[in-house]
Amino acid sequence: MAEPEFEPFKLEIERLYVHENNTLAHVKEYMESKYSLVKSTSQYSRQLKKWGFAKGHIKAAEWNWIGDKMNKRKLNEDKESEFHIGGNQVDIPKVKKAKYREAYSSSIARFGPSPNTPEGLLVCTPTSPGMHLIWNGATPWLRFVKLLNDNQNGEASSPSSSLTIRTPRDFDALSRTVNHELMHRLSTIIPWDKLNHPPNIHSSSRTSAALSILMPEEFAGQHDIFSTTLTSSANGRKNRFGLELFLLSNNITSQGSRGRTEESIKQDDERVIQMLSDSGWKDLKHIQILLSTREPTAEAIAERVFSSALRLIDVDAVKMMLEAGMDPNNPLIEAIPHGVLTPLQFAARSQHERSGELIDILISHGADVDYSCNDYPPLFYAIHNDKSSHMYTLMSHGAIATSSCLSAATGLKDIEAFIRIADSCVDVNARTGWQSPSALAEAVEHQNIEMIQILLSKGANVNDLVAIEFEGDITTTTVLGRGVQSHSINVIRALLVGCDELNPEFDGLPYVSPIVLAMGRENIEVTLSLLQAGVDIKLADGQGEMTLLERATEKRLSVALCKILIDYGAQIDRPISDEKCDSSPLQIALKHKSVEVVELLINAGARLNDEYNKPPYSALGAALEHGDVILINRLLTAGATFVGSKLQKVGSLGTAMYLQASGILKGILKGSGRKILAAALLDKNFNPDLVQYLLEHDADHGDDTQSDKSTPSKQSPLGAAIRARKFDLAKTLLDRGAVVTDIILADAVGEDSSFLEHLLARFRGSAPTAVGAAIQHGEYLDLFQEAGVDPTGVPQSFEQGWYCWDELEFELPPPESVLEIAVVSGESETVQILLEWKPWTPRLIGRALTFAILLQLRGLAELILPFNPDHTQEITIKYGSYEDDLGEVIGEKETYTPLQAAVKEQMIPIARELMEKGDVDHLGDGARRRTALQHAVEKGNMELINLLLDHQAKVDGPPARDGGATAFQIACLKGYIGIARRLLDLGANVNEAPAEREGRTALQGAAEYGRIDMLQILLDEGALIVGDGEPQYRKAVELAERNGHHAAARLMKSWRQTVSLSPSAQ
């Protein structure tokens, strides 16, 4: 069996081997008998080492090392110490006791070299949030937590005291494993890198720091106590359960870099229901008590539990909660990719075998069969997911078939069901939104002729507009046009029967005619049907970037189809005007060597001597570039005379000789000789006689030599010869006066080294492109340095891109110096050589530094820092688009200064040095920009936050205009209640205005993400919800309800009522 087969049993093996201290032989025997996991002892040993599982027994010598290390770190570095073995933290009291009993250290030992670290032991500096906060008992959580008591004082039972926690029988055995999972999860909620680095250790200080950021304390030091008592004790279990409830009530979950996924939601749901079951709360009594408290925390917990039960189709739990009083109509079910749904909407879309039972239960408890929190009722989801049983159940309870239901029904296979829905739909032409397709358009999409006919018989409009993508833009066509895109003649005929007006007017709206769309594919029958029915060809010819014949010839459609277009009056040429056209049907046909189409167009009267804006600039020029004798002769016979002087290539030696005989070769070579010669050198059917003929006529001395320094190498004869590895010809060109440029040198890098030296001997000046190429190839840099080449200047773009980090999630901007190319290469030696080669401006050094930071190359960043970088330099990167569970996510651009990048990447030593010299409050222009403090808060990195505050960073630094947020607003929407409290204590404004675009106030951000306790703090601190605060309040309530956080919405509504009744509010 392969090693991955160990993974499903990781927690069980950890429990048996590490926490219960069983021998490896016992673990092996137990796993084999219970799980049929047959592995050898050596395989177990390798896997245990891979996981980092160790027993944790500490020998006397190791105690000595621990004591010695603790003393040295305290005396020499003023650092506290935290020790770990096998991922588990060594108990501090044991360390202290051993320090005096077995680890006495002499002065020599304290200051002398340390012995090697014993295998399995790890020392870390304890993580500290560096803040001391005072909490009052008014937050919802601190009020609710009083309900979580165990009646330990013998008090009389009350409703609140009934919320006790049961201890399962096997809890002790599993508790440490569960604790470790919880500690790991906390470190993934907050992206502060110190919380999960080094990985695979279970640190009390990390846990305490995370709790300080996320959760208020009942008393000072509570988090420290809790973090050290994540054990199997009763108090530990209670605290752990309390923490889980707090995270649940404030909607704080762990997630990946790309947000919530279906898998992560499922894992959270399973943990919630399991936690409820383990604690003894999964019964009617506890849920009734929970709801009866009327506490926002209790209501939020109930909402989250109800959501989890629904998503898991836990029918018994859902029924129990409905009986306890849960509202069956509250839209609170997060369902990717649909957003937030009502319970009935969610159940109707489910494919689970018990989803029908769930629908019955919801309806029996008062669920409204037509209520939706969007434009799609439960019936739509049942139809969309082809659940006929759900559909009939909902309709039997009076569900109304809306336009969205009818559109969805076009995907059904059951025609009788479709007819029933169509018969009950009041308006078959109604649409959910103007961009949503009509039912007829959807039936066309499915190419269902019978449904199309049914809809047409009920008055469906063939000329309804449908949004389509056309020529890289979004425009519209009719349903008939959409039918043409289906390429089904039967669909088109069915639509034509029901279409009274084939050429509708749309009052200036962007519109594409069906006949234009017919040019997307060879289909004479479709085209002819449209034209015979009366579609206006003149109207179609003026739409888009090309005429109908240009489209037909570009798509290489048949001569017969082109003839039909001509017979029905399609434009053969565009109207004559002062402005030149880019092309014509004739030129396109010549480009594709379509002899029969060329003949057809010539016979139809196509103009032969037009000059065009784009290569090859003339019809005869197109034929000459191909060297096609038949086409050349046909054009000449028909009267073509104009060639122009901008040919890109000459198709053959015969063509070149023809041009010479005609007396026009000299003029052509004067204007385009170098390009023509370069093309001949690079031609896959290389003809040495043609190259020789062109050289004899001085093609390499054309007027385009003046652009040598910027000419792409493929258009330069010398560059082309090098790329084609024809070094003899390259030397010939050099002898004839070819100039060695930066780009030419770049082409030679990676080829023959002796030839490169030959070129370098002829070169003087700056060659950043060539030096960049040498860096990329990892060789030849010494040749450039020895030749005295200047590496400064802007490197030209490379065709293959200038960096190739497959794992990079973003695109870097083009390099402005070879320093940036060297940084991307990751070679510190190369960067050092360049820094010492020539003086560099602070601007360029600043850019290189930012590159190094963004690429997380700490060593290179530290190397560049002493060379006086400009701290104001900004680098803009672009994240690529990607697909997630919600669909396509369009990549965004982000801009950073060195300090902003260092804070974002959590490079603390570099950030600290940059803070000493730069503006810590700089924001800059651009969407989603952040100040350094805003970045630090987003990462939850208290060390950086404290550093920035020590350097006088503004607590209320302004947000970026588009997608920005203040540090305080970020803390509120993230749920970092400890950071928010710290910023409030420093004067943060709870009513700071949001970003102009895509912004949120602190109250709105907390409401949108369901941060119950944060909302209460904001309200206590004076968040405005009446008067000038009315718009903020309404938006906050809307955001909370839209995202399923109804307890948060009720909290704000209740508080507003209190404020409105207050005399001070009058």
Q: Torsion angle, CA of 284/286/288/294, rounded to 10 degrees?
A: -160
The answer to the question of residue 27 being in a domain is yes
What's the pLDDT tens digit per position in 563-615? Answer: 999 999 999 999 988 788 989 999 999 999 999 999 999 999 999 999 999 88
> Quick check: 1035 pLDDT over 70?
yes
* Tokens 């309200």 -> residue: 1019
Copy the structure tokens of residue 954.
Answer: 């503004």
Structure tokens at 311: 């998503």
Q: What is the pLDDT of residue 101?
A: 46
How far is 148 from 517, CA to CA, in rounded Å? 68
**Of the candidates 124, 157, 180, which is a domain's last residue?**
124
Per-residue model confidence as pLDDT tens digits over 48-100 = 888 877 666 666 666 777 777 777 777 777 777 777 666 667 765 555 555 44
Residues 46 and 64 in one domain: no
Q: Tell me: do 66 and 89 sit in the same domain.
A: yes
SS3 465: strand
Tell me, what's the pLDDT at 30?
Answer: 87
> CA-CA distance, 510 to 502, in Å (whole number)?
17
Instruction: Determine phi and psi for 469, rounding to 5 degrees.
Output: -95, 130
| Residue 1 scores a pLDDT above 50 | no
Could you tell me which residue, 736 or 241, shows the higher pLDDT?
Answer: 736
Residues 66 and 117 occupy one common structural domain: yes
Gap between the Cα atoms of 1003 and 971, Å rounded: 11
Asked, for residue 737, whether it belongs to a domain, the answer is no
Amino acid identity, position 933: L
Give the list of residues 6+ apart from residue 160 with CB closer than 8 angstroms, or none. 146, 147, 149, 289, 293
646 falls in which pLDDT band (50, 70, 90)?
A: confident
Averaged pLDDT for residues 381-394: 94
Q: In terms of pLDDT, which residue wins out, 226 or 784?
A: 784
| CA nearest neighbour of 128 among 192, 208, 71 | 208
- Amino acid symbol at 463: N
What is the SS3 assignment for 381-398? HHHHCCCHHHHHHHHHCC
Q: What's the pLDDT band for 432 if we cut at 50, 70, 90?
A: confident
Cα–Cα distance for residue pair 24/2, rounded to 1 Å: 19
| 233 has a pLDDT exceeding 60 | no
Answer yes or no: is 341 within a domain.
no
**82 in the same domain as 117:** yes
Residue 133 Cα distances to 220, 242, 367, 477, 683, angstroms: 8, 20, 45, 62, 75
What are residue 875's phi and psi, to 5 degrees?
-120, 130
pLDDT of residue 1066: 47
C-alpha–C-alpha distance, residues 481 and 814, integer Å: 42
Is the pLDDT confidence value at 360 over 90? yes
- Do 44 and 66 lie in one domain? The reply is no
Q: What is the pLDDT of residues 672-695, one digit of tens each?
A: 899 999 999 999 999 999 999 999
Q: Are residues 71 and 46 in the same domain?
A: no
Q: Which residues contact 165 (CB under 8 A, 6 or more apart)?
A: 148, 150, 237, 238, 241, 279, 280
Nearest to 831 by CA among 821, 844, 842, 846: 821
Under 8 Å between Cβ of 792 and 838: yes
Asked if 882 contacts 889 with a C-beta cutoff of 8 angstroms, the reply is yes
Contact between 195 and 209 (Cβ < 8 Å) = yes
In the listed set 84, 109, 124, which residue is the last one of a domain according to the structure?
124
Q: What element of type H or E holds 876?
A: strand 875-879
Rounded CA-CA distance 554/48 in Å is: 64
What is the mean pLDDT of the segment spanning 806-825? 90
Specify the amino acid at residue 590. L
In the structure, what pLDDT confidence band is assigned to residue 242 with cuts at 50, 70 and 90? confident
> What are the tokens at 122?
């790890």
Q: Output the average pLDDT for the chain.
A: 87
How far apart (Å, rounded) are the C-alpha atoms in residues 844 and 847?
A: 5
Tell me, yes or no, whether 66 and 22 share the same domain.
Answer: no
DSSP classification of residue 894: E
- Percent of the chain, pLDDT > 90? 61
Check whether residue 42 and residue 64 sit in a common domain.
no
Report the Cα 224 to chain-centroid distance in Å. Answer: 37
Kindly state whether residues 45 and 82 are assigned to the same domain: no
Measured CA to CA in angstroms, residue 429 lies from 129, 464, 505, 724 at distances of: 61, 8, 18, 63
Q: How confident is the model at residue 806 (pLDDT cuts 50, 70, 90)?
A: low
Whether residue 104 lies inside any domain: the answer is yes
**What total number of domains does the chain contain?**
2
Where helices occur in 112-259 by DSSP H, the ranges are: 140-144, 171-189, 204-214, 222-228, 234-249
Q: For position 84, what pLDDT does the model report?
A: 67
Single residue among 96, 124, 152 that ends a domain in this structure? 124
Which among 985, 988, 983, 1025 is positioned nearest to 1003, based on CA atoms?
A: 1025
Whether residue 9 has pLDDT greater than 90 = no
Percentages helix, strand, coil for the chain, rounded to the nearest 5?
55, 5, 40
Task: Kindly report the number of other CB atoms within 10 A of residue 783's CB atom.
Answer: 17
359 occurs within a structural domain: no
Answer yes or no: are the C-beta atoms of 366 and 377 closer than 8 Å.
no
Does residue 666 lie in a domain region?
Answer: no
* Rounded distance between C-alpha atoms, residue 830 and residue 219, angstroms: 56
Residue (of 203, 34, 62) closest to 119 by Cα position: 62
* Per-residue confidence band for 281, with pLDDT thresholds at 50, 70 and 90: confident
Residue among 190, 184, 90 nearest 974 (CA): 190
| Amino acid of residue 63 | W
First to last CA, the chain: 76
pLDDT given for residue 972 in this prediction: 98
**Pairwise CA distance, residues 482 & 518, whole Å:** 10
**What confidence score (pLDDT) does residue 102 get?**
47
From the number of C-beta atoms within 10 Å of its C-beta (0-12, 13-18, 19+), residue 33 rates as exposed
The letter for the amino acid at 566 is: I
pLDDT at 798 over 70: no
Q: Measured between alpha carbons, how far is 429 from 857 in angstroms, rounded to an integer?
A: 59
> Is 119 found in the same domain as 66?
yes
Task: Confirm if 581 and 545 have CB atoms less than 8 A apart.
Answer: no
Is the domain of 38 the same as that of 19? Answer: yes
Is position 21 within any domain? Answer: yes
Give the start-end residues of each E strand in 813-942: 875-879, 882-884, 887-889, 893-896
CA 527 – CA 524 distance, rounded (Å): 5
Please state the rounded mean pLDDT for residues 867-878.
95
The rounded percent of the chain whose pLDDT value lies above 70 is 87
Collapse the DSSP code of 259 into the 3-class scheme (helix H, G, I; strand E, B; otherwise coil) and give the result: strand
CA separation for the pair 587, 554 (Å, rounded): 10
| pLDDT value of position 887 | 59
Q: Outline where DSSP puts E strands in 519-583.
A: none
Confidence of residue 154 (pLDDT cuts 50, 70, 90): very low
Domain that holds residue 7: 3-50
Tell me if 984 sits within 8 A of 1020, measured CB to CB: no
Confidence of residue 153 (pLDDT cuts 50, 70, 90): very low
Left (φ > 0), alpha (ψ -120 to 50) or beta: where does 892 sit? beta
Using the CB atoms, write b or e for 756-770: b if 16+ within 10 Å: bebbbeebeebbbbb
